Amino acid sequence: MRADSSHKAPAAPPLRADARHNRTRILAAAREVFADRGLDAPMAAIARRAGVGVATLYRRFPTREALITEVFTDQLVGCVSVVDEALADPDPWRGFRTAVETVCRMQIADRGFTGAFLTAFPGAVDFERVRGDAERGLGELIRRAQATGKLRPEFTTTDLVLLVMANSGVAAELAGQPTAVVAAASGRLVASMLAAWQTAPLDPLPPAPPLTLHHI
């Protein structure tokens, strides 16, 4: 007798209430720890913050990659939304500038976001698909801004990567400083880079943050 080809494997049973609660706590704790300490933070530190055992954490998320991609998928989707809104702006340079500024603000708010955005996760198909959407959208923003003559023709996505790396350094070096100081320093860096990429006339820079050499 031939097996019925329409037969489907039974769906995985839903998580019990306590398991769902643990999963939610782990994700919340991971967001906090990754934001504070970056993606290399020990898994044990996340388990402690969540109030669960390390074994419980690994039952829910067998690998660091699985936890990272689950935590940062929403931020990556948010990044795609930012790019989509920028593409809808009738002024391509303004859309490009706004997207860069917004993504860098997201980055400063969460240290882990940089690592997740720049790291490849071949096993996380959905995460990589969303990242691909973001990269394609950024590429289109660049092409449109260059077509207006306001963005240097030699500009490439590598320059965006360099900005993200530099902005990450600002966040790391100023860890512990007031949020307003970190935001102002990041904003000044981003505006300086945008001015370097822009053809005349240049947009004005925002006020310099209150930093001196002793902050280095």
57 and 97 share one domain: no
53: CB partners within 8 A, 6+ apart = 47
114 and 46 share one domain: no
118 and 191 share one domain: yes
- What is the CATH number for 152? 1.10.357.10
117 and 55 share one domain: no
State which of 8, 32, 62 marks the end of a domain: 62
- What is the CATH number for 54? 1.10.10
Is 7 domain-assigned? no
d(CA 153, CA 155): 6
d(CA 101, CA 37): 23
190 and 129 share one domain: yes
Is 43 domain-assigned? yes
Is 12 domain-assigned? no
Is 48 domain-assigned? yes
Confidence check: pLDDT of 15 > 70: no
What are the tens digits of pLDDT across the range 152-193? 999 999 999 999 999 989 988 888 889 899 999 999 999 999
d(CA 42, CA 40): 6
183 and 104 share one domain: yes
The structural domain count of the chain equals 2
198 CA to centre of own chain: 24
pLDDT band for position 214 (cuts 50, 70, 90)? low
Range of the domain at 210: 71-215
What are the tens digits of pLDDT across the range 118-130? 888 888 888 889 8
193 and 109 share one domain: yes
84 and 129 share one domain: yes
d(CA 60, CA 86): 37
Is 174 domain-assigned? yes
Span 105-115, mean pLDDT? 83
Is 5 domain-assigned? no
Is 8 domain-assigned? no
Span 93-107, mean pLDDT? 94
d(CA 197, CA 153): 9
